Chain A
């Protein structure tokens, strides 16, 4: 069995976001880039499964659509325990473009499980996993909170309204994962960091395709106002403010 983990290179989640080019682009100055947190958990789970598989999981590959600058993120994934990596040498312009690039590479390979995060921490599009299923014409299961392999059968849990659904799935399939897939991202060990230097990182050229969306402008939310306090005796005033100012009731 072979597992592919799709990883995005996103700004650290504590980054103070600014925009440039008349608010059309993210200002990348001074940003620290990390593996998208869902993708990091996906990879952690893939590594756990491989370690427990007794050799039945042959390899874990990570794939990224990104330019040279995303290689430190890819190397971190290799240090965590991925066996090899593919970088599609293109700017990840929008979800369809990314999904199309990924699909073109995945088509030519032989993966049993393709893991993607539910969304990426930068644009929160939640689109690539679904598009991949469509472009590859294979099963796509979303909102997976557990992934297990028992006796060569693959089981997943999905979080649904009011409960959990357990499914058995035929491979190959796209697993779009969310909270619960792994407890904490794996910290790379010294040995992993050392080995990451020499693990294969294949760089492939992108294929021509159009973007389906164009970003017009970003708007930052209004700064949060000061907190208003009401004493216990002033419930009527609180209700009035919630009704007239906050328009919540």
Chain B
């Protein structure tokens, strides 16, 4: 066992922390209030290589390990989860999916500009009537010989507008159920694609979330990832890794709120002393600290397993479940510790609490994670 990070991992953690504090913190409240997408911030983040940090350097990626990714995600999420989610979708879902399962032509054409940060990707799985039950895809990819014809609607799509490259999960053979589903790379500017309005969300308000409609969208057959019918398996395998990203995002939201709560409790006085000296507050902080430490260890273990080439789906589901749940608990307590100040925007913790809620819902709800974990127990 070795809990020491490498020199490089520490450097990446520090770079992410510096970026978040210098570039994201000054206007994060304003962007959240206005639901304004952080275009300039994302451009700088991509120039630093964070959007393709885990992709193979052969395709212009950063070549970093998953542990480095967890450390960076935590630091960015402490300040602004709307930016972290762009990083998570690009790294964990789109880049990894193409790198792991795409063919060489697809990697050259699509992964290279994504890994270098020139382009942004989006992962289109959820539908109005297929969220947790992803087997019930209604979007169709009709086989027309040399191309697929896409029709249907995808919901809650992160990066829908800013992305150039979509990975769309769609049903080709309805008679085969989930074994008839395909994963297809689609250029966003293909005729027939339209976007719904920007979603006015509770948290992560400045992330770019829309529904996406496909109306007779023609996509070359060579854009299918893997064999015919591989799409559902592709989505599930990709989401296993995606869970590490969202778990570390939830961890960052929790640790960001926790750091603010500790600092506040050392400054705020009540009944003649700093409130950290009151057991009611001190014990809350102790409980929060334990939860965060556990959450971090789960994230890092999932990342370590992935880096070692060992199965990680079981632990990544645990990490996603636990980190999201404690993120909600810790941020709620952080608001409580701040009292009235916690309920106003200036102190950030109310925003972090709103952001935490989403981590229990997207990329597999907490309940779905329990299904994943319990099914593995009963195999």
Q: Which residues in A have some Cβ–Cβ distance to B below 8 Å?
A: 71-72, 75-76, 79, 184-185, 187-191, 193-194, 196-197
Contacts and interface: CB of A to CB of B under 8 A. Distances in A.
A196 B49 CA distance: 15
Contacts, number: 48
Contacts of A194: 8, 57, 62-64
B57 A187 contact: no
B195 interface: no
B11 A193 contact: yes
Nearest to A34: B14
Contacts of A184: 22
A2 B288 CA distance: 52
A187 B19 contact: yes
Given A184-B22, A194-B63, A194-B64, A189 B11 contact: no
Enumerate the 5 nearest inter-chain pairs by beta-carbon distance, A residue then B residue, closest first: A190-B49, A190-B62, A189-B48, A189-B49, A72-B7
Nearest to B53: A190
Contacts of A188: 11, 15, 48
B267 interface: no
Given A76-B14, A193-B8, A193-B11, 15 more contacts: A71-B7, A187-B22, A188-B11, A189-B47, A190-B49, A190-B53, A190-B64, A191-B49, A191-B62, A193-B15, A193-B62, A194-B57, A194-B64, A196-B8, A196-B11
B12 interface: yes
Contacts of B49: 189-191
B228 interface: no
Interface in B1-41: 7-8, 10-12, 14-15, 18-19, 22
B265 to A, nearest CB: 18
Given A72-B10, A76-B11, A193-B11, A187 B64 contact: no
Q: Is the interface of A mostly helix, strand, loop or mixed?
A: helix
B87 to A, nearest CB: 12
Contact of A190 (B7, B12, B14, B18): B12
B50 interface: yes
A185 B62 CA distance: 21
Contacts of B64: 190, 193-194
Nearest to B60: A191
B278 to A, nearest CB: 20
A187 B8 CA distance: 14
10 contacts: A72-B10, A187-B22, A188-B48, A189-B48, A190-B53, A191-B62, A193-B8, A193-B62, A194-B64, A197-B8
A190 B12 CA distance: 8
Contacts of A197: 8
Contacts of B19: 187
Contacts of A193: 8, 11-12, 15, 62, 64
A196 B63 CA distance: 13
Contact of A75 (B7, B12, B50): B7
A103 B11 CA distance: 30
A79 B10 CA distance: 12
Contacts of B8: 193-194, 196-197
Nearest to B8: A193
A189 to B, nearest CB: 5
A190 B50 contact: yes
From A71, A72, A79, A190, residue with most partner B Cβ within 10 Å: A190
Contact of B48 (A71, A72, A75, A190): A190
A191 B117 CA distance: 12
B48 A187 contact: yes
Contacts of B52: 190
B8 to A, nearest CB: 6
Contacts of B50: 190
Nearest to B23: A187
Nearest to B44: A187
Contacts of B12: 190, 193
From B11, B22, B50, B64, residue with most partner A Cβ within 10 Å: B11
